[in-house]
Amino acid sequence: MKIGEYVEWEYRGWRFGAWSTLGVEKERKSKVVVAFHGFDRHADEMGSFEPLYDLDTQMLSVSLVHHGSSIPLAPLDKRAALSPELLMEAIESYIDSAETKIELLGYSMGGRIALTLFERFPEKFSRVIVLA
C-alpha cells in the first residue's frame, strides 16, 4: 500500500478532512479515486483498497460530514447539511481535476454519497464502485 497522509482544506465555509496519496506523490497521476467510507468509520480505512488499483492511480478518501474533521465552520450552523454540489466543488478544488480521470469508490453510507455524486454529475466520473 502506498503511504498516505491526512490532509485538510477549507472550501466555502466547510473544513474537509481526508486521507490522501495526492500530496505524497511527486507528480500527479492520470487517475484519482475519490473514496467515501461507511458510517462511523474513518477515511484512512479506504486506503486498504488502494493497492487494487493501477500504479498510475492516486487516492483521496474524504471524511464524511461530521466524521473526522469534515465539518461546517462558523458562522454556519454546526448541524448544517452539505449539498452534493458543494461537495463536488470542494473535491474539484482540492484535486484540480481538469486533466484527471476521477473514479468514485464508496462503502456502505459512503456508497450512497458516491451514487448521489455520480447521479448528479455523471460526466465528471469514469466509473463508480459501490461496496456493501
Tell me the H-state helices in the chain: 84-95, 109-120
C-alpha pair distances (Å), 27 with each of 16, 37, 56:
23, 26, 10
Q: pTM of this prediction?
A: 0.90
Q: Which domains does the chain have, with CATH numbers?
A: 5-131 (3.40.50.1820)
- Residue 132 is predicted with a pLDDT of 83
**Mean pLDDT in each 10-residue stretch from start to end of the chain (132 residues)?**
83 95 69 94 91 88 89 92 94 79 94 97 95 90
CA neighbor of 91 nearest in space, from 129, 130, 118, 51: 118
- Residue 104 is predicted with a pLDDT of 97
Residue 112 CB-half CA count within 13 A? 5
